[in-house]
């Protein structure tokens, strides 16, 4: 690892430790869970539907702006046969999602229809995950530093179960819509009953229905839990010196926090986006195939 990169990472975690130091100076209790509180900046709660604008919404806006902005930048700057800069990044992302996700999961008959959706799903989750490890001024104690210096923190919109569940519900509905469209209502139900002795077919059907419903849990919770756990580990590493009241602990916690940050940013962020998009493609593709 280069000295510049190491210095940047140490500076990053030190920046994350500043809010904890400010809390200690004010003799407040350090609570890592506060980083995940969603306090509405604009309250639009209509009872059954809450459309309030909070930091989860802002992080998703930022992700959408990055993806859209990159596409517009490439189009406006002109597409060339020898890609470079933004066009190179966009082409790498396209080729990866096409070959490693789209072609690997979607049948040819629905590839053109659902590849844009799967690719967008992958990019949206990946960018959300990646920017979640960049300190941004949306921490719960904004404005507590002397001189009005904004507080910064790490937060992931995908560490909110409402976000991951909403994405999963979209995939779930599309899966069964395409299944019914391909086989008809009765035919699609029959695809859930494999060849087996008549006596155990009802049991298999119930288990298959349960497995379909459990996809809502497994797909959403996997992404949510991995991002939440990763951020908690980093925040806890940054807060250990405050919790234990020891400066010496900081010299141990700092490199541990950097290691967690590297692991989560380099490996987990992209991997979880890939798994979510891959499983989504598998579910949709499997629904339109003939019964096995």
Q: What is the mean pLDDT of the chain?
A: 81
Question: pLDDT class for 203, splitting at 50, 70, 90?
Answer: confident
Structural tokens at position 49: 């539907």
Q: Are 73 and 252 within 8 A, CB to CB? A: no
Of the candidates 91, 90, 168, the residue with the CA atom closest to the CA atom of residue 125: 168
Mean predicted confidence (pLDDT) in 140-154? 60
Residues 6+ apart with CB under 8 A from 123: 67, 93, 97, 273
* Domain extent at residue 77: 3-288
Tell me which of 48-62, 65-79, 250-264, 278-292 is least confident. 250-264
pLDDT, greater one: 190 or 249: 190
Give the total number of structural domains in the chain.
1
Q: Are 29 and 140 within 8 A, CB to CB? A: no
Radius of gyration of the chain (CA): 23
User: In this predicted structure, what is the pLDDT of residue 241?
Assistant: 67
């Amino acid at each position: 690892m280069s000295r510049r990169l190491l210095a940047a990472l140490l500076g990053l975690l030190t920046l994350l430790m500043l809010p904890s130091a400010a809390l200690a100076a004010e003799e407040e209790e350090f609570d890592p869970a506060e980083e995940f509180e969603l306090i509405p900046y604009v309250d639009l709660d209509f009872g059954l539907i809450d459309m309030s604008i909070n930091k989860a919404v802002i992080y998703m806006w930022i992700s959408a702006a990055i993806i859209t902005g990159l596409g517009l930048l490439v189009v406006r700057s002109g597409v060339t046969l020898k890609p470079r800069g933004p066009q190179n990044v966009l082409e790498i992302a396209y080729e990866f999602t096409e070959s490693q996700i789209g072609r690997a999961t979607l049948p040819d008959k629905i590839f053109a229809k659902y590849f844009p959706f799967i690719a967008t799903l992958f990019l949206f989750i990946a960018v959300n995950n990646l920017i979640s490890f960049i300190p941004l001024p949306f921490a719960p104690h904004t404005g507590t530093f002397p001189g009005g210096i904004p507080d910064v923190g790490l937060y992931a919109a995908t560490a909110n179960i409402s976000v991951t569940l909403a994405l999963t519900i979209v995939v779930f509905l599309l899966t069964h819509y395409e299944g019914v469209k391909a086989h008809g209502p009765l035919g699609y139900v029959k695809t859930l009953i494999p060849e087996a002795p008549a006596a155990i077919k009802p049991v298999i059907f119930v288990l298959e229905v349960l497995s379909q419903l459990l996809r809502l849990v497994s797909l959403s919770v996997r992404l949510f839990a991995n991002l939440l756990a990763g951020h908690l580990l980093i925040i806890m590493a940054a807060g250990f010196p405050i919790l234990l009241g020891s400066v010496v602990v900081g010299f141990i916690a700092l490199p541990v926090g950097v290691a967690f940050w590297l692991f989560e940013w380099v490996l987990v962020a992209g991997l979880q986006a890939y798994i979510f998009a891959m499983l989504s493609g598998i579910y949709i593709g499997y629904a339109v195939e003939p019964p096995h």
